[in-house]
Amino acid sequence: MDIKVQAMGDYQTNCYIITIENKDLIIDPGVGATKWIKTHVTNPVAVLNTHGHFDHIWSNQEVKELYDIKLYTPRDDEFMLTSDPYGLGMPASYADILIKPDEEIEIEGIKIKFHHFPGHTPGCSAIQINEHLFTGDFIFKGTIGRFDFPMSDAKLMKQSISKILQWDNDFHIYPGHGDKTTLNSEIPTLKQWEASI
């Protein structure tokens, strides 16, 4: 399993390419991601979204049409794919597969689970592939995602933190912004946030 990452756009949003047995999964193709993706994939099979904020989905449609592959998006964030609330000219995209909360799927033999952690957005999810967790804007190194946006919910964020703190296994965490970390490393920070929200 090979993981490539490149920060995209003004918000330096991480786009990931995960390669397993010569199959490429693309996670969160943000602003300007297509050019980088074209130089780093050989056999793309799907586009996956952690959530629906514009800086994570900007190039969804362009990438899925370029490679004729399907777009998988958390069901509760589907409405964000066609809205442009900040008036930035975001291209609309259209999900082929809407993922239910905590749903596990399989794409060409690769098992993928979308763990539902709402709070930052209604459908915010962490995508698990083996022992790797692509957390979008739920968990970052040293902090968590914002929950003061119009579609955010502090109560749900607190519940999501409580949910992941019940996990027993450690995971490599690849966030939507910034450097990678591990779940065990972030537990003290998560406990602080759980107590303060």
Put simply, whether the predicted model's pTM sits higher than 0.85 gets the answer: yes
The pLDDT value recorded for residue 161 is: 98
Tokens of 108: 């060409």
CA angle 183, 14, 108 (to 5 degrees): 80
The CATH number, out of the four listed (3.40.50.300, 3.20.20.140, 3.60.15.10, 3.30.420.10), of the domain defined by the range 2-196: 3.60.15.10
Identify the DSSP state of 35: H
- Tens digits of per-residue pLDDT, 43-76? 999 999 999 999 999 999 999 999 999 999 999 9
At 87 the pLDDT is 84
Length in residues, the chain: 197
Mean of the per-residue pLDDT values for the chain? 97
185 Cβ partners below 8 Å, 6+ apart? 141
Instruction: Report the alpha-carbon distance of residue 165 to residue 159 in Å, rounded.
Output: 10
Does the pLDDT of residue 107 top 90, yes or no?
yes
Sorted by where each begins, the domain ranges of the chain are 2-196
Could you read off the pLDDT of 131-166 as tens digits, one per residue? 999 999 999 999 999 999 989 999 999 999 999 999
